[in-house]
Amino acid sequence: MGSWKSSIFILILCLLEGALSNSLIQLNKNGYEGIVIAIDPNVPEDEALLQHIKDMVTQASPYLFEATGKRFYFKSVAILIPPNWKTKPSYVRPKLETYQNADVLVAVPDPADHDEPYTEQVGKCGEKGERIHLTPNFLAGKKLAQFGPQGRVFVHEWAHLRWGVFDEYNYDQKFYLSNGKPQPVKCSAAISGENRVRRCQGGSCVTDKGCRFDKVTGLYEKDCVFVPNKQQAEKASIMFAQSLDSVVEFCTEKNHNKEAPSLQNQKCNLRSTWDVISDSEDFKQTTPMTTLPPTPTFSLLQIGQRIVCLVLDKSGSMANGDRLNRMNQAAKLFLMQTVEQGTWVGMVIFDQTAYIQSELRQINSGTDRDVLTRKLPTVARGGTSICSGLRSAFTVIRKKYPTSGAEIVLLTDGEDKSISTCFGEVKQSGAIVHTVALGPSAAKELEQLSTMTGGLQASASDQAQNNGLIDAFAALSSGNGAVSQRSIQLESKGLTLQSRQWMNGSVIVDSTVGKDTLFLVTWTTQSPQILIWDPSGKSQSGLVMDTATKMAYLQVPGTAQVGVWKYSLQASSQTLTLTVTSRPASATLPPITVTSRTNKDTGKFPSPMIVYATIRQGASPILRANVIALIEAVNGKTVYLELLDNGAGADVTKDDGVYSRYFTAYDTNGRYSVKIWALGGVNAARQRAPQQNGAMYMPGWIENDEIKWNPPRPEINHLQDKQVCFSRTTSGGSFVASNVPKAPIPDVFPPCQITDLKGKTQGNNVINLTWTAPGDDFDHGRAHKYIIRISTSILDLRDNFNKSVQVNTTDLIPKEANTEEFFVFEPKNIFLKSNTDLFIAIQAVDKANLKSEISNIARVPLSIPPPEPDKKLILDPEIKLNITIPGINVLKLMWKWIGELQITLGLH
């Protein structure tokens, strides 16, 4: 149970379903402000930890300053202290800072011995990361030998987070062949060291003098590692080994090792980390400073009680399309189920003026919830004054609490040209504003309120069957509350039925949820027939009918039975929806969660959007789930998009529990809402979270010609595939599209870049290539043809692809997007030289002759060096022989002597 408990903090940050990663970081001249470092509530209270965090950032700032040519430094940091730590006068209430938008998380490791710093990155090269993960042990300096000083590591992770660069090492491929010779993956190549193996048995360890060859690959054996010299002269690179004292720079074009199969080369088209950083918006906005930067400042913040005020539109346009009643249905779900116990809730309604329906009331019982639901508006009339509603909300909140850190849920369907007049007041208030845009005419400036305050933005069309309003309100769980109180949406479906038709379906209640389970049914004209059965087949009674609001609900007593619950709804000539929510069954077993977002909140045609859905149970990703995104335009037209975790197309990393896909099916300008359906099953698997994109765990150091080994890097014990049955639905928020042409929309989308091209020899220098097929439009459809080119120069192939030698692909017909492609060819004789490295890249072309970006470059050695003549006696090619005898090849003579010795000893 310990590892599950240690995962709870991750859930606290992830369970605000559908939220974008709303970092508060701003670059003010050359200084980064608004950095939020949050401490896991499960971390034992320890004031020393606060000082460790301050020390890390203080040490990191001048290191960052020098490493970036005097461009950047850390100016201000907010440390978010857990609510279960003791309160102190020096701790103040946060404003916009929440666990959900924290940039750095400090949590106990899961598993217990994994203290590796790392950064979540779901975007492509140059795109900002999600958040940095650190542990108390690391911050306390208990891992100095493995990772180096904490401040240097923080700069390494900051480069991942802020500039989207990748590591310049590769745990999966520690060596590569260069002209037939094994080389360690490092940057720069000038960093010196030795390739060694440490063998341990029965508590004693020995270090081999060299590494054995793998007969198949020509590389070193699996356990061989590169051990750097502690004393170096090389200054680069921070993304390889910031722990080396001499390393104070990022790799530039001058010293970048373009041949090494590092993640940086694979993800960034062989570009150096400094090239990527130099291309960032941060870099373009700054010039080098002529003075030293100030020391960072810190604020200590502690979460208090949650305060929410609903600000609901009751203007005349809300009478259209049953909007007022649909709003009340969604708000009632929020008040009955979503909002947590102990929350203070108020309510304001508005038309051309605002009306306070309820002062702040603390939710302590069902009675408190009922009192608030009775305050919902029943009549729609009047104009629209959004600022009046917001100002009244401030008044309600200030009667009891400051507005800093309070939340406002603003729903409107109307235009309001004066909305910008209160932007300054909103920003100054420190309140977080979540916005819900209903229908096609909601104020275009609405999203600016949520953007400037770090709130959630959502939209819903007038198509009731898509259940957009209820989804938006169901996503408004607290970003800071206890996990055990969180409301999790299991199902959200709708259907327009004709004469006495049935809406049948099922929902899975898995073992991680079941507490406070609610079935909610809504209708548009008259109450339907509703049948619900538990997993044992028992029909459920106790359904409460609310004919005034046109909704019915079943509150399952106790903890709902684990298994498949079935439902059947019957009606005629009306639209029905069904929503199922639940809470975690246990405070120690984290629930399976689905969080979703898009890569940006505005899309300008023809730039594609990317939809992401992350599925986790604690720190463990859920693999091979079925994930569908329902994307609804403001006109109600919907697109169903399967999201994939295959490491191709929009998906950056395979099998990390992040499911992604490009969206290109634009239909109109305006808002698009996103909803995610996720379904587990026999093919789903639960594994430990991969800790990629982080500081390298150094195996050891060479000092005074002696290797000082660190303890072996803890291995991640992958669990075997296990059936994980679950169902989840979550809102992915909304985005706004512009510049969409009128139908028919032209074909302007090329195939996506191929990012997983791999090659290997298949005997007699026949080359076998594999990759994931792109589509006609990014990762949709089928490409028209492939262009494959080869070269013996990796840079020539990258920079002069169209002039490189082309492979005959006449018989290569592209498959449907996201299927695996195979191709075998034999290079021309001009390439078949001893120890030749052949570089291969591929380009996809669609039927409109639009071409993809050039793929990643695959390296294939055409001649593998022979294995060592004996497993016991070996010379490491890295060992230099400083012996010279005129006229005699000493190395050749030594190999001959080894061969004769083998015969004498009978070792052949």
Catalytic residue numbers read 157
Between helices 150-163 and 47-67, what is the axis angle to 10°? 70
Residue 224 · residue 211 · CB < 8 Å: yes
Tokens encoding 681: 């099953």
Closest CA to 344 of 306, 397, 392, 389: 306
Unique residue bearing structure tokens 């001249």: 29
SS3 label, residue 58: helix
Q: Give the C-alpha separation, 453 to 422, whole Å.
A: 13
Q: Give the C-alpha separation, 347 to 766, whole Å.
A: 72
Q: Give the C-alpha separation, 775 to 847, whole Å.
A: 11
Helix (H) or strand (E) holding 448: helix 446-453
Helix (H) or strand (E) holding 626: strand 626-633
Residue 447 · residue 422 · CB < 8 Å: no
Q: Is the peptide bond before 111 cis (omega within 30 degrees of 0)?
A: yes
Residue 174 · residue 224 · CB < 8 Å: yes
Please state, as a whole number, how many other Cβ atoms lie within 10 Å of the Cβ of residue 489. 27
Helix (H) or strand (E) holding 575: strand 574-584
Q: Give the C-alpha separation, 603 to 734, whole Å.
A: 11
Residue 311 · residue 350 · CB < 8 Å: yes
Q: Which residues make Cβ contacts (< 8 Å) with residue 366, sequence separation at least 6?
A: none
Q: Give the C-alpha separation, 648 to 854, whole Å.
A: 14
Q: What is 875-904 written as a DSSP string?
A: --TTS-----BTTB-HHHHHHHHHHHHHHH
Q: Which residues make Cβ contacts (< 8 Å) with residue 221, sequence separation at least 6?
A: 197, 211, 212, 213, 214
Helix (H) or strand (E) holding 786: strand 785-791
Instruction: Please report, to the nearest 10 degrees, the dihedral formed by the alpha carbons of residues 108, 112, 118, 123 taken in order.
Output: -90
Give a three-class secondary structure readout of 538-568.
CECCCCEEECCCCEEEEECCCECCCEEEEEE
* Length reported for the chain: 908
Question: Left if phi > 0, otherwise alpha if psi is -120 to 50, otherwise beta: which for 694?
Answer: beta
Q: CA 754 from chain center: how many Å?
A: 20
Instruction: Please report, to the nearest 10 degrees, the dihedral formed by the alpha carbons of residues 177, 182, 188, 190 taken in order.
Output: -140
Helix (H) or strand (E) holding 44: none
User: In the chain, what is the greatest distance between 2 CA atoms, to the nearest angstrom?
Assistant: 104
Q: Give the C-alpha separation, 696 to 228, whole Å.
A: 12
Q: Give the C-alpha separation, 20 to 514, whole Å.
A: 27
Q: Which residues face 26 on adjacent strands? A: 33
Closest CA to 339 of 304, 309, 376: 309
Closest CA to 328 of 367, 378, 369: 378
What is the rounded end-to-end Cα distance, in angstroms, of the chain? Answer: 54
- Which amino acid, 550? K
Unique residue bearing structure tokens 């849920």: 409
Tokens encoding 56: 């890390």
Tokens encoding 46: 């320890």
